[in-house]
Structure 1
Amino acid sequence: MVTLVAIGLTTLVSLIAFNNPRLKQQLILWPPAVRRHNEYWRLLSYGLIHADGMHLFFNMFTLFFAGRYIEAYLSLRTGLVGFPLLYLGGLVVSILPSYLKHQNDPNYYSLGASGAVSAVLFAFVLLQPGAIIYVFVIPMPAIVFGVLYLAYSWYMDRQSSDNVNHSAHLWGAGFGLLFMALLEPGLIGRLLN
């Protein structure tokens, strides 16, 4: 249920913001606004808006499939708080390095739920490393996808050649793995086996 609410709310706000530049400007992560004007809500609200329909679709599609599984798994172990903690924690933790790096940069903006979705996706990878994930039409084990995704994100983050916050993908993935490993330490050993 929480997954579907997150998808619905994010989709609704993103669609409204596509045609409402003022709303988008109020929600986007703009580090100087957080630092100078204490607009701390931006550390969460940036995840409600997306650059375009494809950005929104890929995030929500991934969240739909991985999120439902992780939400069910966490609800058995933590009740109703586990999945929101993973998702919102991933949203905040994934953006903190970018915020700290750009807190005085008036030209830096970031938006999208990719960091939170990465946290959920990598929680799934840790729980189901052998599950088949389809990347476009190519099937691959979740662990293979995870390694390729991390390598690609790391490489692209070093290139800084596009407008994608690859750092958020990396930190979100790391948060998802750490969250699950702290909740159930045996998962790391199982993954290594």
Structure 2
Amino acid sequence: MFPRLLPITRALLIANVVIFLLQSVMADTTVAPFLLWPMNLGDADTPFGYSFQIWQLLTSGFMHGSLGHLFFNMLALWMFGSPLEQTWGDRRFLLFYMACLIGANVCQVLVATWTLSSTGEAYPALGASGGVFGLLLGYGMLFPNNRMIIFPIPVEIRARTLVIIYGALALLLGVTGWQPGIAHFAHLGGMLFGWLLIRYWRGQPPFGKGRRGPPNIRIVR
């Protein structure tokens, strides 16, 4: 059974598609400042002369490199986003998605800047994958026993197992560099920030124990 398409999830889908269409008709020099670039620390030149700017933590998360990149990210956004929005409500869901997206990009900037200073090779990142991986983590925490089939895994598995597989794979590929050109540490960053935010909402370590949460906000179970 496919999840209902709820308002915030729909708005995010539309925003990503519209921005992708705008990318396709804009010059590269117009698009480039909105990609996620490593920081220029003075000891290495960033590619093409561009460098990190604070707005890139948000803008790069709505840009995609190809139609396939956009399609798979939006499919995952719909599959995992709608159940979470239905559970949490629109405001909490939007906060969670943005925290995961921006947190993922913070991690990517740090890794890319370190790579640039170490090897002199680092390139810009773009895409909603960090936010999507955060949604996957959230779905696995809220619905751990739900069963699903997700590409490229051809068998039905539990959501919790899927989160573990994707997280371990992202870590392996990020550390080994076996799949260059993909921001694996952004994926891990999205999962990390999603995990931290849910733990905060639940009042669990490292944020203490038994915290009741802000007024009028239901504790996530």
Relative to the length of structure 2, the TM-score reads 0.74
Give the 3-state SS of the residue equivalent to 2:156 in structure 1: strand
Instruction: Sort the Cα spacing of 1:71 and 1:103 in 2 relative to 1 into closer, same or farther, 3 A.
Output: same
2:128 pairs with 1:110: no
Aligned pairs for 1:107-186 within 5 A: 107-136=122-151, 137-161=154-178, 162-185=180-203
2:54 pairs with 1:52: no
Report the residue type matching 2:147 in the other structure.
Answer: I
Q: Out of 1, 10, 18, which is 1:12 matched to?
A: 18
Quote the residue 2:99 is aligned against.
89
Any unmatched runs of 5+ in structure 2? Answer: 1-6, 43-49, 205-221
Larger Rg: 2
Deviations 1:106-133 (A, max 9, x none): 8421100111111111111100011112
* Aligned-pair Cα RMSD in Å: 2.4
Instruction: Sort the Cα spacing of 1:100 and 1:9 in 2 relative to 1 into closer, same or farther, 3 A.
Output: same
Greater helix percent: which structure? 1
Tell me the distance in 2 between the aligned counterparts of 1:101 and 1:65: 29
Extract structure 1 runs of 4+ deviating beyond 6 A: 35-38
Instruction: Sort the Cα spacing of 1:23 and 1:5 in 2 relative to 1 into closer, same or farther, 3 A.
Output: farther
Report the residue type matching 2:31 in the other structure.
Answer: K
Give the 3-state SS of the residue equivalent to 1:130 in structure 2: coil
Give the 3-state SS of the residue equivalent to 2:149 in structure 1: strand
Tell me the distance in 1 between the aligned counterparts of 2:73 and 2:30: 20
Any unmatched runs of 5+ in structure 1? Answer: 187-193
Equivalent residues of 1:95, 1:168 under 8 A apart: yes
Q: Out of 77, 85, 89, which is 1:63 matched to?
A: 77
